[in-house]
Amino acid sequence: MDFVLINEDEGQQFHTVDMPWLGSHALVLKERAVEALKSILLAHGEVLPLICCPELWLFNATCVIDALDHDESDIVRFRNGRIMDVRRYVFKPSCISKLQAFKISDFRVSPIFVSQEFVNQCAIARLSGVEFELIWESGE
């Protein structure tokens, strides 16, 4: 399967961005974004070149942890008990206090979760193409 960067749809040109959207499970980055976030990315995963689209890289978060507080989170489950959706995330602060990018072990394909420091670094570098949603704040 080839990865193709879409620049227009139905005659409408899209803006060029530093972090094209693929999904919450993967961060796609252009060189400017890789350079701005390199120290954080390499401390929490690997940056892989997309061979089919050489100006893009994929961040693979290799930090996968059991950080979801099942008792405090609002979780929707399948009949077999597997997680279908999380309506409200609550994390175990001790598990994530020093992390800036991670995935949780509760999903077959987990979203990538990032810290406020990661978000701040994106803002400082004025990276475009990605927006962040606050899903949880530590009470500590």
pLDDT one digit per residue (tens) for the chain, 140 residues: 566 667 777 888 878 899 988 888 989 999 999 999 999 999 999 999 988 777 899 999 999 999 999 999 999 999 998 999 999 999 999 999 899 999 999 888 899 999 999 999 999 999 999 899 999 887 65
Q: Is residue 39 part of a domain?
A: yes
pLDDT, position 65:
95
Q: What is the share, in percent, of the chain residues with pLDDT greater than 90?
A: 66
Report the distance separating Cα 122 and Cα 126, nearest Å: 6
Does residue 84 sit within a domain? yes
Whether 137 is in a domain gets the answer no
- The DSSP bridge partners found for residue 26 are 23
Residue 96 and residue 67 in contact, taking contact as beta carbons nearer than 8 Å:
yes
pLDDT for 13 equals 81
Q: Count of H helices and E strands in the chain?
A: 3, 10
* pLDDT tens digits, 103-127: 999 888 899 999 999 999 999 999 9
Does 130 fall in a domain?
Answer: no
Please report whether residue 34 resides in a domain: yes
pLDDT mean across residues, the chain: 90
Predicted confidence at residue 2, as pLDDT, reads 61
Q: Could you tell me the residue range of the domain that residue 38 belongs to? A: 8-124
- 18 within a domain of the structure (yes/no): yes
Query: How would you classify the pairing of strands 64-65 and 101-104?
Result: parallel
Greatest alpha-carbon span in the chain: 49
Any domain includes 2: no
In the chain, the number of structural domains is 1
Q: What is the pLDDT of residue 140?
A: 57
- pTM (2 d.p.): 0.87
For residue 85, being part of any structural domain is answered with: yes
